[in-house]
Amino acid sequence: MTYTEVPGIRVPIRMWTDPATVEGAALQQLRNISSLPWLHGLAVMPDVHLGKGATVGSVIAMKGAVCPAAVGVDIGCGMSAVKTSLTAEDLPDGLSGLRSKIEQAIPVGRGLHTDPVDPAKLHGFRAAGWDDFWQRFDGVAEEVKWRRERAMQQMGTLGAGNHFCEVCIDTSGSVWLMLHSGSRNIGKELAEHHMGVARSLSHNQGLVDQDLAVFLAKTPEMAAYRQDLFWAQEYAKHNRAVMMALFQDVVRREFAKADVTFDEVISCHHNYVAEERYDGVDLLVTRKGAIRAGSGDLGIIPGSMGTGSYIVRGLGNAASFNSASHGAGRKMSRNAAKKRFTTRDLAEQTAGVECRKDSGVVDEIPGAYKNIEKVIDQQKDLVEVVAHLKQVVCVKG
């Protein structure tokens, strides 16, 4: 489908979904965003739903301003995936052992590594710039510097919520590895610090929603946020790269006889800020639950822990600010899912997937998410499908 234009307060809202299907609270959130005087444009993806700070599935393009709460607390959250030389026939009938070994190699939930991962010991890991990256930690906000040790120990860890590691099979029978995570606790603490600073600034006092407080260009507050923001986005990218290297090592050992090889890793942020140019204007583009889908860009759009995912190639649609959805999108809150579904429902909806099926992940049940096939269909002018994957192992925190 092409987008539907919905009236906003200052700027019209371009929606790649039926506006009638968007919950009222999310629509109001989008209208609030459209009222910002710094806004250049607002695009809404088919996985749109109510979020904290700003609507999930929105692309917020501003001139000379950025909203830290719109980026959110998981700065740089995103996906990585890689195709392996394994096929479905190479996998054993029982996958619980493989799942256990993945969980042993990659700490989940609030877990961390006892000692920081040494990139020099990771097979094929590209460690260029690693020391420089950690030296730049000395430049982050003073209030967060004391978290250095924890940040180093959490590098290469999964987290909880909707983060996951998966073994998947595509429609041709090839095995893929996929994971979803971000900047862990260090990103959260940096985000919360800067959101507090933004709310205190005088130019934000008249906003309809204090969560939309912004930093303005050529101010010390903006300079400090940009430094920490881009460092945290880099942390998230490194975090996924370390996890993927650990994940690949597990698979190499588990299938040593197959001499496993891997294609180039596909990686994309979906909670982040990028400096881009549209309509002849330099903009700060915040993708809040959206991936970059410039012409030829490879991206990853996951469904849920029982429905599979898509590898896509961007078509470069400038109307969406070269963006696409970051997943299926929730159709109900976590609390609503816990009230509606049981562990029996979870077991039924994840049949055939080696994964947790306990009350701790009921809020991640496939039934709490939108139909991923419909979401993909609604953005045919944004991306083309490269591969359709279905998970057989799903690790969650």
Is there a binding annotation on residue 335?
no
Model pLDDT, residue 166: 98
CA distance 93 to 110: 31
Is there a binding annotation on residue 238?
no
In CATH, what number is assigned to the domain containing residue 196? 3.90.1860.10
The verdict on residue 273 lying in a domain is no
Strand partners, 276: 283
The verdict on residue 1 lying in a domain is no
CB atoms within 10 A of CB 38: 19
Is there a binding annotation on residue 62?
no
The verdict on residue 143 lying in a domain is yes
Domains of the chain: total: 1
The verdict on residue 297 lying in a domain is no
CA 245 centroid distance within chain: 19
Is there a binding annotation on residue 165?
yes
Instruction: List the one residue out of 19, 169, 166 whose CA is nearest residue 103.
Output: 166
Is there a binding annotation on residue 183?
no
Model pLDDT, residue 126: 84
To the nearest 10°, the Cα dihedral for 305, 274, 16, 6?
130
Is there a binding annotation on residue 125?
no
Is there a binding annotation on residue 119?
no
Q: Range of 165's domain?
A: 73-267+303-331+369-396
Model pLDDT, residue 70: 95
Considering 40, 238, 269, 326, which one is annotated as catalytic? 326
Strand partners, 7: none
Is there a binding annotation on residue 302?
yes
Annotation says 113 is catalytic: no
Q: What is the mean pLDDT of each run of 10 residues along the chain (397 residues)?
A: 92 97 96 97 97 94 97 96 98 97 97 95 88 95 95 97 97 98 97 97 94 97 98 98 98 96 97 97 98 98 95 98 97 96 98 97 97 97 98 96
pTM of the complete model beyond 0.85? yes
Is there a binding annotation on residue 268?
no
The verdict on residue 20 lying in a domain is no
The verdict on residue 248 lying in a domain is yes
H, E, C per residue of the chain: CCCEEECCCCCCEEECCCHHHCCHHHHHHHHHHHCCCCEEEEEEEEEEECCCCCCEEEEEEECCEECHHHHCCCCCCEEEEEEEEEEHHHCCCCCHHHHHHHHHHCCCCCCCCCCCCCHHHCCCCCCCCHHHHHHHHHHCCHHHHHHHHHHHHHCCCCCCCCCEEEEEEECCCEEEEEEEECCHHHHHHHHHHHHHHHHHCHHHCCCCCHHHCCEECCCHHHHHHHHHHHHHHHHHHHHHHHHHHHHHHHHHHHCHHHCCCECCCEEEECEEEEEEEECCEEEEEEEECEEECCCCCEEEEECCCCCCEEEEEECCCHHHCCEEECCCCECCCHHHHHHHCCHHHHHHHCCCCEECCCHHHHHHCHHHECCHHHHHHCCCCCEEEEEEEEEEEEECC
CB contact set of 46 (below 8 Å; sequence gap of 6+): 16, 17, 57, 325, 329, 370, 374, 375, 378, 379
The verdict on residue 5 lying in a domain is no
The verdict on residue 229 lying in a domain is yes
Strand partners, 81: 178, 266
